Amino acid sequence: MPIKIPDDLPARKTLVQEGVMVLKETDAIRQDIRPMRIALLNLMPNKIRTETQFARLIGATPLQVEMTLIRMTEHKSRNTPASHLAAFYRTFRDVKESGEKFDGLIVTGAPVELLPFEEVDYWEELREVFDWTQSHVHTTMCICWGAQAALHHFYGVPKHALPRKAFGVFRHRNLKPASPYLRGFSDDFSIPVSRWTEVRPMDLPDDAGLEILMESDETGLCLIEDQDKRMLYMFNHIEYDTTSLAEEYWRDVERGIDIQIPANYFPNDDPHATPENRWRSHAHLLFGNWINEMYQTTPFEIDKIGIITNARPGSGMTREQAAQAADADKA
């Protein structure tokens, strides 16, 4: 089944050219099915590029998915036209006041890693977002700085500055092959990394039930499951396009930033060569598994999200089993 996005969203043309099935809004209305409602809180500067990356991944599942684009209310984007934001985005304040609920939410990274959390101009509103997910979102995936921010908000976990940027494509290990999120994953796989800070295992609270699913010997933690908060924390950029790291490298070079060539990325470390994508299949696997787990456990009636919470993602309990458990609790 296809992904439902606005007819005029720039990502539509790219996805159609790539063979992703995209559903017109007018056709979606005629289908007698409740789509999975997934929101994207886009904190990245190049919002159009980021929309396309995530739409590509959530649009490749057998389910109909409706994507809602959200931005921070007061923060002013300097890299995306105001007309684009006005046409396709809703502010978090508007979404919160509407009382809407979502099966899934993705919180992206943001280029503010070296700032203390409290100095980010939308920090207080982002904390509202995290608290709001607990009653209005069934399952949330936070990416890179977004993952660090969520862990800091819920558990006080600090981030640590690295001596130099973790930058390149690095080998990772599958620590929990039985996890529903890693279904079909290889034991060893590559993921793009691009960050100036890290979260360390020794800072994770012992009593929070946080489970490390992916890790790299070179760049540390990659993916953590938080079953209690119904969250996944992904510290790296598995959603990146083939050329994303190259564009970041040349952008920094042009700005005069002392940046190393991304590791294990360009053939023969030649930044003029075309890189090869070695993570695409695992990106689709991760998001497909996330959406499948979401579909299996989210309440059929979307307004019951936050009420029927027995069927937590990763628990192995279906929506029907959760509803029966909820009825038993009432009795």
Return d(Cα 81, Cα 142) in angstroms, integer.
Answer: 25
Are the C-beta atoms of 48 and 10 separated by less than 8 Å? yes
CB count, 10 Å around CB of 317? Answer: 16
Q: Look up residue 290 and give its two tokens.
A: 């996330």
Q: Position 204: which residue type?
A: L
Q: Position 299: which residue type?
A: P
* Identified catalytic residue from 66, 239, 248, 293: 239
Alpha helices in the chain (DSSP H): 11-18, 25-30, 47-58, 82-88, 92-98, 123-136, 145-155, 244-254, 280-297, 319-330
Return d(Cα 130, Cα 137) in angstroms, integer.
Answer: 10
* Identified catalytic residue from 152, 153, 237, 282: 237
Cα 63 to its chain centre, rounded Å, is 18
User: Is 239 a catalytic site residue?
Assistant: yes
Q: How many residues does the chain have?
A: 331
The backbone torsions φ and ψ at residue 199, rounded to the nearest 5 degrees and listed phi first, read -105, 135
* Identified catalytic residue from 51, 113, 138, 144: 144
Pairing of strands 36-41, 102-107: parallel
User: Is 172 a catalytic site residue?
Assistant: no
Q: Which residues are catalytic?
A: 144, 237, 239
